[in-house]
Amino acid sequence: MSGMQAVWPSGTECIAKYNFHGTADQDLPFSKGDVLTIISVTKDPNWYKAKNKVGREGIIPANYVQKREGVKAGTKLSLMPWFHGKITREQAERLLYPPETGLFLVRESTNYPGDYTLCVSCEGKVEHYRIIYSSSKLSIDEEVYFENLMQLVEHYTSDPDGLCTRLIKPKVMEGTVAAQDEFSRGGWSLNMKDLKLLQIIGKGEFGDVMLGDYHGNKVAVKCIKNDATAQAFLAEASVMTQLRHSNLVQMLGVIVEEKGGLYLVTEYMAKGSLVDYLRSRGRSVLGGECLLKFSLDVCEAMAYLEANNFVHRDLAARNVLVSEDNIAKVSDFGLTKEASSTQDTGKLPVKWTAPEALREKKFSTKSDVWSFGILLWEIYSFGRVPYPRIPLKDVVPRVEKGYKMESPDGCPQIVYEVMKKCWTLDPAHRPAFHQLREQLEHIKASELYL
C-alpha cells in the first residue's frame, strides 16, 4: 500500500473517502467528499502534507483519500448503458444469452415505432415488455407512469411490480461505460446530501444554473433534468475531469441521479461573465492594466488547452467568467473536443467563428486563435457586439474578402496589431497561443498598454 502511495506527486488532487477529525495540531481535519491537494509526502509514506480548498495546510492519512483521475479520452459515457437503440428482438435475445435471471436491456420497439421494449432474462427465457409512450409519459402496464426510461428502470430494479422478475443486472451496450461508475472510479462523484441548492443565478436552454453550498463553500451547479440533455452534457463533464488550470473554471464533481438528473458542480465565479462585467463597469472603472490582465488570463488558459490538444470551439467573452478576486477563467466546455474531431456547425456563433470552421467545419487551435482575436476586441470595446453596423448575413462574405474590424476606441495600437494577426485568413499563418502569450507579456512588461 505505502509503496504505491509514494507516487502521488505534488499538486495531485484527491477526494476524501471518510471523515478525518485529526488528533495532533499539525493534522488537517476534513469531511468525506472534501477536495484536497497534495503538497508533499512526509517521511512516513502513509501520511501526506496537503491543503484544502481555503488554503489551510496540514497532515492527512493517505488511505483516507482517493486520487482524482480524469475520464480517459475517447471513453463513451452513458447515463443509460443498458439502452441498445434500434436492435431486433432476435439480437436482444442473443445479447441476453447465456440466460441469467434479472439480466435486462431496453431497445427501440420494432413493431411500434416511438415505443420501447424492455427485454428481461427470466428462468432461461427472455420476456419482452412493450413500453408505451403516450402524452410524453412511459408505461408498461398503463397504471404506473414514468417521465423517462431511467425512472422506469429504477422503479423495476427495486420492485418487479408485475414483471417476471425485478431488474438485477444491466446488459451494457458494447463500447459504452456507465457514467456513474466512471465518475466514481475517478473520484468525481459527489453526494447530493452534501449539496444545498440556494438560488437560481442563470437560465440556460438546458436547465438552470444555481448557486449552491458544498461543505460550506459556494459553488455553481448546472442542473440538467431531462435525460436526453443530460446525456449530451456528459461529454462536457468528462472533458472537465481532464483539465486543470488556474484560468479554467474548475469542476468539483458530478452528481448522477438514478432518475435521470445530472448536476455539474463547479467553482463559483462571483462576478459573472466577462462580457457583463465589462459592460457594467466601462472605461471609467477599468484601466488598460486591467484589460490586459483579462486578455492574458484567457491566453494562459488557451495556451494550456493548446498544449493538451483540446479545441474549445466557443471562445467568447460570454464564456469567460470573473472570480471574486478578478481572475478571468474560461468556461463552457460544451463544444470542447479533442483536437481531431469534427462537429455540426448549425449552432455556431458566426461573428466569433473562424471562416474555415464555418465553411469546412475545420476546427483547430488556430480557429480558437481567431476567436481569441474577437474576444480581445470585445475586451477593448468594453463588451460591444463584434462587427457593429454590419448585418449578420454580410459578416462572412466581407471577412472572406479580407475585411477586419477597426480598432476599438482607445485601444493601444500594439494590442490592435495582435488582434489583426489572429484574423489572418490562412490559419497556418496565425500565431499560436504560446506566441500570443509572449507578445502580451512583452506588452505588459514594457507598459505599452498605457
Could you tell me which residues are annotated as the binding site for ATP? Answer: 222
Q: How many CA atoms lie within 13 A of 244 on its CB side?
A: 12
Residues 101, 122 contacting (CB under 8 angstroms): yes
Whether 44 sits among the annotated catalytic residues: the reply is no
Residues 310 and 321: their CA atoms lie apart, in Å, by 19
Residues 240, 191 contacting (CB under 8 angstroms): no
Which residue, chain included where needed, has cell 441521479? 257
| N- to C-terminal Cα separation, the chain | 57
- Active-site entry in 227, 297, 314, 332: 314
- The amino acid at residue 339 is A
Please state, in angstroms and as integers, the Cα–Cα distance from residue 357 to each residue in 56, 309, 386, 434, following that order: 45, 17, 18, 21
- Those residues with Cβ within 8 angstroms of residue 417's Cβ, 6 or more apart along the chain or in another chain: none
The helix, strand and coil proportions of the chain, stated in percent and rounded to the nearest 5, come to 30, 25, 45
Where is the binding site, in residues? 222
CB count, 10 Å around CB of 369? 25
CB count, 10 Å around CB of 338? 13
Catalytic residue numbers?
Answer: 314
